[in-house]
Structure 1
Amino acid sequence: MGSTSMTEKELALIEKLKQNGQAHLFKGWEELKGKDAEKKMFAEQLVTLDGQYPGGLVGYIENSKKLLKFSKDGGNPFEGYTPMKPSGIMLTLGDKKFDEMEAAGMKVIKDTAFCLVAGGLGERLGYNGIKVELPYETVTETCYLDLYCKHILALQAQARKAGATDCVLPLAIMTSGDTHAKTVDLLKKNNNFGMAEGQVVIVKQEKVPSLANNDAAFVAQKDNAFSLQTKPHGHGDVHKLIHDAGLAKKWASEGRKYLMFFQDTNGLVFHAAPAAFGVSVTEEFEVNSITVPRKPGEAVGAICKLESKDKTLTCNVEYNQLDALMKAAGYAGDEADASGFSPYPGNLNILIFSIPEYAATLEKSNGMVPEFVNPKYKDAEKTIFKKPTRLECMMQDYPKLLDSKAKVGFISLERGVCFSAVKNNAVDARGKQAKTGFPESACSGEADAYKVCRKYLKLAGCDVAVEGKTAEYNMIKTDVGAKVVLQPSFACTLAELKAKIPKPSQVKLGQDTTVVLEGEDVVVERLEMEKGFLSVVACPGAKVTIDWKGDGPTMDFVPEGKFDDSKKEFSYPEDLAEKYRIRGYTTKYSGSEDELTKHTFVFDKPGTYKVSLN
């Protein structure tokens, strides 16, 4: 090798790779002089990659060759399966069944754990940072990670009130090389957003080698022959990371029952969590997917029950595979049923697993879930790739590991209660809104944040319009109504909200109002505003009663940015922060600083207080 600094382990791995189709990586090494340091770094990278994949790099090569051949031959992973309607429960927020499931879920909250999949940056949004640091809404500027911690801590507080006095609900976060350091720093700067020491565990996802061709040849970096090109393996790695960290086994030994996986910028997810846990309990689901009604042909994966001669499984089927699967089984295709929706609900990648079975399954699979490869071919013979590919895996493919006896199902809720992704920049969001009605942008995500709170108030009996007025920001049609922020500590379930508002007929909010309520011992006796602003934030132990009737200056969205039709992009004031650019507005109080202070109440010490205006 021309290097005496390499270890026996490194030299042995290089020899194994040469014997498994990777000799091209080391061609000419013997003649290269003065490159020992570079060779050593390359060998160290190979050893690291070898240790991260079950079976090492040779195992990765073998799996790659099998899957590349399957792809080249036009293999169908669902061949022989017949699609059937999956088992599940369809709920509507506020109906009797929803209340029952929410109550059932709260009974097991003390035995739950959570996992946030947060490996993405905000580049697609037009934001140069990690997505979990973005504000969920601009009235309080609560970022997504803070919001999720608030929800978990609120559920934990409810579990403690119910008798589990020592309850601590763990949160695992999967990061990537792109997001790890910034996520750690965000938590450190904010004292873990109130989470206890050790309550948050971070697991970091690594990458796998890129593949140049059907022979699974690895690829060196274009500008550095002594560094392997790598790519993400997919969010299915979260299962292996949880397994390798011993978390599944630990949680099972602690008697925990359910684990919920959720994504980085869907702020509505925890509104569905208690009811979803309730469905998992009552239906005895080993895997439960939170879904939304899905229209035939809609570009979202579908939860399907599949039957073959040998196996029955319920899993996600990508939308571009479903229609062909239906036709191959003798059906007309992906068609609507009497409800007007597909019988196969839309997958959101919000998953709830029964922890005992999950831990046992990961032990058997070593944390791995089924992989696939998706090369883009340059030629009809499928021998040349347009660009290097890699093996991938998806978290929602975990059910494929289970046997036919496993109970796998879904809970379906209206989209505005459980799902509002924030992932598209302004230009792409306009196109998405025109095509699907859902822009999935920062401004639509914020609008949905306020709207779901208005809906909860309405269901509690309050006088507030759920639907707002339509305004345009970044040329995206946006619902603008009362800006209501009900922080999780104020109410994390509909039942709790109703208890906090004993006289709902005395809560009346006009569309030009902004209300922030935070604190587990805050009670609203009366709150009547046609327009104005009120913020009440109380620490644990601060018992606050609100009796408020009166208007005042408003908190308004101020449009920002102009669209340059020639460049097909938006331009903004140079000093406007990205978190506002991606929304197309800033939030501004119309009154004086003194007026804002008079309408902002912070109680940071335990005691009994009253907030009143008559």
Structure 2
Amino acid sequence: MTQTIFTESDVTTLRSNFDAAGQGHVFNFWDTLTSEQQQVFYNQLVDLDVTRVNQIYDTAVKGAAACASAQAASVEPLPTDVTDSVLTADASKVEEWTTLGLKLIAEGKVAVILMAGGQGTRLGSSAPKGCYDINLPSGKTLFQLQAERILKVQELARARFQVKDQVVVPWYIMTSGPTHAPTFSFFEQNNYFGLDKSNVIFFEQGTLPCLTMDGKILLEEKGKVAIAPDGNGGIYRALHSKGVIASLKERGILYSHCYCVDNCLARVADPVFIGYSASKKSDCGVKVVGKSKPEEPVGVVCLKDKKYGVLEYSEISKELSEMRRPDGTLAFNAANIVNHLFSTAFLERVPDFAHELEYHIAKKKIKHTDLESGEQIAPKAINGMKMECFVFDVFPYAHNLSVLEVARKEEFSPLKNAPGSGVDCPETSRHDILSQQSRFIEAAGGKIAAKDGGESLEIEVSPLVSYAGEGLECVKGKSILSPAVIETLEDLNKIMS
């Protein structure tokens, strides 16, 4: 935030700008503020592009109206020539993608961008969601699991291509106002989970003012605008304004794997996905899973008005959700899991069309200050809106988009809901990780047996030991005693019989 000591002339100019934009009411209580309060408020207002706020509001309102009147005919399934699936691809083809992905990683041309601005509020935690412990036997948090996957994929690339120097996959972590300081502190306290701190870069996403239904800026306090994060699509503006694009170019990065922190099964810097997208010369790659059922409440990647986009579950009709292809599969089956690969060239040109991006309206109960009485009000009914841009809003501008379907049980287990919810919650995340790692052992020819006649069949395999089931050949024909946490191959040797 700009820290400028203002003059009376500065305030006059700033007030004129807000008046001209129809937002002059934000100065209603200016004369009642102390000089210190005025300084803080001035610094907030001078950083606020009020013309852009009005533009975003106008675009969002028009977009909402267009969406409400959209016809089913404007929506089509994805063309088959832009989609592939690891579920049906030949093993040789998957290996080809893997090799290309590892080669790009070994050459230092791949980065990871993590969207980690969310708090664990619904989980009963005020900490950043990435700090959450899903009760694995090891006690590892989401951040630690993802850091260890980066460490392992660096090692795999280095070994595959016999790189003498260290292989580096830089990790750019997007935080938000409430999560920035605690996220940084968490990584410091944990020594960056073994990663070189110079290759872990934190940057903060932007915010937008909260508005009334007719587009007027709400005041949280007499000297403070009510603000909210600008959605995960705010990543594009932040990448430019926080110097991330410049950093990517300086490092020679060609592709960035972008994903959301709450997926405990996310294959970070996934060589298969990287190699697949690169082989297609994609500027935008999208990883999806098949819908579990027609009515599953997920957005689907499709064509909207002949352009790539995501049809939210609230927008899709029963008829469209149940439509099937000639082979019997769902026509709208590509469930969006917020997992993408972007070329640096694509990210670099986002400002060329940023003004066209459609922001989405979230109607909310927003605490605010009454402009006449100055009293703070906690409304009992919806009184305003927050505006968000989604990460998939750039899809229509991709020159070459490709979509890769992966197995849900191997790569998608989101953490959304409170403990005990039974779906997308800590218990399901824990179950999905442990089930996957048991499959790793069994696929390598091992058998899991409980210690001393017990019933527990829980095996946790550290990402440092195996990224996606590889490197476990030593278990073939052996029994692995459970429960166990395997942090090294030596740990594994100790519990085999």
Higher mean displacement: 67-76 or 312-321: 67-76
| Alpha-carbon distance in structure 2 between the residues aligned to 1:443 and 1:190 | 24
Deviation for aligned residue 1:515? 2.8
Q: Verify the 8 A CA contact 1:271 1:493 in the aligned structure 2.
A: no
Aligned residues with identical type, % of pairs: 20
- In the TM superposition, residue 63 of structure 1 has moved relative to its aligned partner by 3.0
Q: Deviations over 1:374-408 (max 9, x none)?
A: 4479xxxxxxx932113210112121233xxx221
Instruction: Return the offset for 1:244.
Output: 1.9
- Over residues 239-291 of structure 1, what are the superposed CA-to-partner deviations in whole Å (9 max), with x where a residue is unaligned? 21112233234324533222111111212111792221122123222211111
- Alpha-carbon distance between aligned partners in 2 of 1:34 and 1:335, rounded to the nearest angstrom: 60
Distance 1:150 1:243, change over 3 A: same
Q: Cα RMSD between the aligned structures? A: 3.0
**1:323 match:** 317
2:419 matched residue in structure 1: 426
Q: Distance in 2 between matches of 1:212 and 1:100?
A: 53
Residue 253 (structure 2) aligns with: 256
The structure 1 residue matched to 2:142, chosen from 133, 139, 144, is 144
Partner Cα distance (1:15, 1:275) in 2: 54
What whole-Å deviation, never above 9, does each CA across 1:84-103 have from its counterpart, x for those lacking one?
32421112399724444333
Mapped partners of 1:358, 1:47: distance in 2? 27
Partner of 2:84: 89
Shift of 1:137: 4.3
Structure 1 or 2, whichever has the larger Rg, is 1
Does the alignment pair 1:17 with 2:18? yes
**Equivalences for residues 429-440 of structure 1 within 5 A:** 429-430=421-422, 439-440=423-424
Q: Secondary structure at the match of 1:400?
A: helix
Q: Distance in 2 between matches of 1:177 and 1:102?
A: 37
**Letter of the structure 2 residue corresponding to residue 262 of structure 1:** Y
The answer (yes or no) to whether the contact 1:314–1:409 under 8 Å persists in 2 is no
Secondary structure, counterpart of 2:286 in structure 1: strand
Instruction: Please give the TM-score of this superposition, normalised by the length of structure 1.
Output: 0.69
What's the CA shift for 1:237?
A: 0.9
Residue in 2 aligned with 1:177?
A: 177
Evaluate the alpha carbon distance shift between residue 393 and residue 182 of structure 1 in structure 2; reply closer, same or farther with a 3 A threshold: same
Q: Say if 1:34 and 1:253 are closer, same or farther in 2 by CA, change over 3 A.
A: closer
Partner of 1:395: 391
Instruction: Note the residue ranges of structure 2 that are not aligned, 5 or more in a row.
Output: 366-380, 450-454
**Alpha-carbon deviations, 1:295-352, whole Å to 9, x = none?**
323210001134x4xxx4222221222338xx7xxxx664244354444310000111
* 8 A Cα contact 1:266 1:422, kept in partner: yes
What secondary structure sits across from 1:179 in the alignment?
helix
Whether the aligned pair in 1 keeps the contact of 2:444 and 2:475 (CA below 8 Å) is no
1:372 aligns with 2:380: no
Is 1:234 the counterpart of 2:262 in the alignment?
no
Per the alignment, residue 122 of structure 2 pairs with 124
**C-alpha contact 2:97 2:272 (8 A) present in aligned 1:** yes
Equivalent residue, structure 2, for 1:266: 263
8 Å Cα contact 2:149/2:268 also seen in 1: no
| Corresponding residue number in structure 1 for 2:103 | 107
Aligned length: 464
Higher strand share: 1
Asked whether the equivalents of residues 10 and 44 of structure 1 are also in contact (C-alpha less than 8 Å), the reply is: no
Structure (1/2) with the larger helix percentage: 2
Query: Residues 58 and 79 from structure 1, CA distance in 2 versus in 1: closer, same or farther, beyond 3 angstroms?
Result: farther
Q: Which amino acid aligns with 1:27?
A: N
Partners in 1 of 2:75 and 2:280 — Cα distance?
A: 24
- 2:472 matches 1:488: no
Equivalent pair of 1:240/1:368 in contact (CA under 8 Å): no
Cα 1:219–1:99 change in 2 (3 A) is same
SS at match of 1:270: coil
Whether contact under 8 Å (1:135, 1:141) holds in the other structure is: yes
Equivalents in 1 of 2:98, 2:66: separation in Å? 48
- Structure 2 residue aligned with 1:517: 486
The answer to which structure, 1 or 2, has the higher relative contact order (CA under 8 A, 6+ apart) is 2
- How many Å apart are 1:189 and its aligned residue? 0.8
CA distance in structure 2 between the aligned counterparts of 1:240 and 1:322, rounded to whole angstroms: 29
Deviation at 1:459, TM superposition (A): 2.0
The match for 2:335 is 346
Contact 2:266 2:412 in 1 (8 A): yes
Deviation at 1:442, TM superposition (A): 0.8
Residues 218-244 of structure 1, C-alpha deviations (whole Å, 9 max, x = no match): 1112xx222111122111111211122
SS of residue paired to 2:177: coil
1:508 aligned to which of 465, 471, 479? 479
Report Cα offsets for 1:48-69 as digits up to 9, x if no partner.
Answer: 2x2xxxxx21221133134325
Q: Tell me by how many angstroms 1:154 deviates.
A: 1.2
